[in-house]
Amino acid sequence: MSDLEQKNDSLLRLYLTFFKMGMVTFGGGYAMLPILEREVVEKYRWADKEKVLDYYAVSQGLPGIIAVNVAVFIGYHRKKVPGGIAAALGVVSPCILIITLIAACLQNFQNNPYVQHALGGISVCVCALIASTLLGLWKKSVKDVTGFVIFLVVAALSLLTEISPILIVIAAAIAGILIREVQRRRKA
């Protein structure tokens, strides 16, 4: 491994990369995906795009914050347990710092029109990032009629019922397995 590869594969590099993502990711894990793909997939080549999307899919079904779960997966993939810890600390450190600063100055920020306008602009940006992420997930996931039907059922259950998202994810996984198995047996 070259010196440059070793530098890009260090625990400090993992921490700093996820710290940078944590600094600019407003809106949670979905808004983080475009930045994550640029840094992890394109810049450092720590994982391919499909693996990152798989980490996202699994992270959605796990308890906790999606961004932290994904960071742990990628960090663990690179450097095992120390890598997972470094990536998780990196992604949450900016939040801790920002919340601490805001809490210290809350009265000054609360009614500041510049802060209110900045947060309004950030909200619009987050919507665009989430839309971009959804489009990417759509292209990867909904490839045929079966995928589209599962999407419609999950969307209806999510929007129209109070069923837990965890149960919906598990049910969709089971449905996907069963449907593909039936299709495979029909072809055989």
Q: Determine the average pLDDT of the residues in 123-134.
A: 88
Pull the structure tokens for residue 75. 């960090």
**Per-position b or e across 31-70, b if 16+ CB within 10 A of its CB:** bbbbbbbebbbeebebbeeeebbebbeebeeeeebbbbbb
Predicted local distance difference test score (pLDDT) of residue 106:
65
Same domain, 27 and 100: yes
Same domain, 179 and 147: yes
Residue 171 has pLDDT above 70, yes or no: yes
Same domain, 136 and 159: no
Predicted local distance difference test score (pLDDT) of residue 137:
85
Residue 18 has pLDDT above 90, yes or no: yes
Q: How far apart are CA 35 and CA 23, in angstroms?
A: 11
The winner for highest mean pLDDT among 4-18, 79-93, 108-122, 172-186 is: 79-93
Same domain, 14 and 59: yes
On average, the pLDDT of the chain sits at 87
Same domain, 95 and 150: no
Same domain, 188 and 135: no
Q: Determine the average pLDDT of the residues in 36-42.
A: 92
Same domain, 70 and 93: yes
Predicted local distance difference test score (pLDDT) of residue 7:
56
Predicted local distance difference test score (pLDDT) of residue 140:
84
Q: Structural domain of residue 157, as residue ranges?
A: 142-188
Same domain, 75 and 165: no
- Domain tally for the chain? 2
Q: pTM value?
A: 0.61
Residue 118 has pLDDT above 90, yes or no: no
**For 157-166, how does the pLDDT look when each residue is reduced to its tens digit (9 = 90+)?**
999 999 998 8
Same domain, 136 and 146: no
Same domain, 32 and 121: yes
Residue 65 has pLDDT above 70, yes or no: yes
Task: Tell me the pLDDT band of 114, cut-offs 50, 70 and 90.
Answer: confident
Same domain, 104 and 171: no
Same domain, 83 and 50: yes
